[in-house]
């Protein structure tokens, strides 16, 4: 017969074990319930996320694509040959102001003093030299006025202005630049762009509505094309900017006068891509110019070429 003391001890052990088992089961069930509730919450969040409306796809082309298609068919400016001197003289003769200067030059007339050469490099050239070189040649984008664009990565290797003048006859000076081929060392010339877009086809657009130029008082706070060139000798030079019809201006130096204004917006203007030509008597040395267009009833103007040639 088992002693009563042993029986009570066994019963007590069973009760203790059962109680511990219950506590363990309650603890485990609690963890299971919490885990289950967490999984349910995550599933509900996933369903809510999936239920959010997707961003709709465009139902039409972008405004930029529409604008480009609405304009006359364009040829890549890289395939356009540089204008001949005869073509530049013809473009000059079609503009009253330029024609008057040409007639004076043909008679041997010269202004009492030429437009002076710069004594320092242009702000654009200074700023560009401080910037790291681009990753490589090719299309560039200048979406804001404070971001200058230059598309020739080799320019940094020789952009050191105010070197000794290169011996070169005046009549031998001729240079043509495009937005993609925007720099040359012989002769020294470069284009810079402020507040413009360089399109894959090779044009730059002067985007009034998108890109202004807050601090650019020299271009009346408008997007601009900047020609920077070293003139070999004092004399007459024809400058021509080939761009869409618009109202445009040209300034000599950043603190100099506006030397020419054109208006191709009249109904009688036959050109879609027009030659903004002028003729100036320039001193030898570094010269630079700012070209910008004004808003008009026409589309955003595109710039194809910038040419400069000595006369005669």
* pLDDT of res. 26: 39
Does the pLDDT value for residue 6 go beyond 90?
Answer: no
Q: What are the tens digits of pLDDT across the range 26-57?
A: 343 434 333 444 455 555 555 445 455 667 77
Query: Considering only CA atoms, which of 271, 132, 143, 256 is closest in space to residue 205?
Result: 143
Does the pLDDT value for residue 260 go beyond 70?
Answer: yes
Give the pLDDT mean for 259-273. 87
* pLDDT of res. 295: 75
* pLDDT of res. 79: 74
Q: Could you tell me the residue ranges of all domains in the chain?
A: 87-311
Q: Which two tokens stand for residue 139?
A: 């299309």
Q: Cα-atom radius of gyration of the chain, to the nearest Å? A: 36
DSSP string, 192-249: EEESEEE-TTS-EEE-TTT---TT-GGGTTS-EEEEEEEESSSEEEEEEEEEESSEEE
* pLDDT of res. 24: 41
- How far, in Å, are 81, 90, 308 from residue 85 at the CA level? 12, 8, 10
- Dist CA 13 CA 7 (whole Å): 10
* pLDDT of res. 73: 60
Top-tier CATH class for 87-311? mainly beta
Which is more confidently placed, 121 or 54?
A: 121
- Cα 254 to its chain centre, rounded Å, is 20
Task: Please give, one letter per residue, the 3-state secondary structure of 140-202.
Answer: CCCCCCCCEECCCHHHHHCCCCCCCCCCCCHHHCEEEECCCCCEECCCCEEEEEECEEECCCC
Asked whether 117 and 237 are in contact (CB, 8 A), the reply is no
pLDDT-derived band at 216 (thresholds 50, 70, 90) equals confident
Q: What are the tens digits of pLDDT across the range 157-206?
A: 333 333 333 333 344 899 999 998 999 999 999 999 888 888 888 888 88
* pLDDT of res. 11: 47
End-to-end CA, the chain: 139
Does the pLDDT value for residue 10 go beyond 60?
Answer: no
Among residues of the chain, what percentage have pLDDT more than 90?
A: 42
């Amino acid at each position: 017969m088992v002693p009563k003391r042993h029986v009570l001890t066994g019963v007590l052990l069973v009760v203790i074990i059962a109680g511990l088992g219950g506590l363990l089961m309650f603890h485990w069930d609690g963890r299971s319930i919490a885990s289950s509730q967490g999984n349910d919450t995550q599933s509900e969040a996933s369903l809510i996320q999936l239920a959010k409306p997707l961003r709709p796809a465009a139902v039409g082309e972008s405004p930029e694509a529409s604008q480009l298609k609405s304009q006359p068919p364009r040829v890549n400016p890289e395939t356009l040959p540089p204008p001949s001197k005869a073509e530049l003289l013809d473009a000059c003769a079609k503009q009253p102001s330029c024609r008057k200067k040409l007639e004076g030059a043909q008679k041997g007339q010269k202004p009492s003093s030429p437009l002076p050469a710069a004594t320092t490099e242009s702000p654009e050239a200074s700023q560009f030299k401080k910037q790291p070189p681009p990753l490589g040649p090719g299309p560039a984008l200048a979406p804001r006025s404070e971001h200058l664009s230059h598309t020739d990565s080799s320019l940094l290797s020789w952009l050191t202005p105010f070197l000794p003048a290169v011996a070169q006859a005046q009549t031998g000076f001729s240079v043509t630049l495009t937005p993609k081929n925007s720099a040359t060392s012989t002769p020294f010339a470069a284009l810079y762009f402020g507040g413009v877009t360089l399109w894959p086809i090779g044009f730059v657009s002067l985007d009034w509505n998108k890109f202004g130029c807050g601090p650019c008082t020299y271009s009346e706070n408008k997007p601009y094309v900047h020609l920077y060139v070293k003139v070999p000798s004092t004399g007459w030079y024809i400058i021509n900017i080939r761009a869409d019809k618009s109202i445009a201006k040209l300034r000599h130096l950043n603190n100099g006068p506006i030397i020419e204004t054109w208006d191709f917006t009249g109904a009688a203007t036959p050109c879609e891509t027009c030659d903004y030509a002028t003729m100036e008597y320039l001193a030898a040395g570094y010269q630079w110019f700012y070209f910008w267009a004004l808003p008009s009833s026409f589309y955003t103007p595109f710039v194809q070429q910038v040419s400069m040639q000595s006369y005669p």
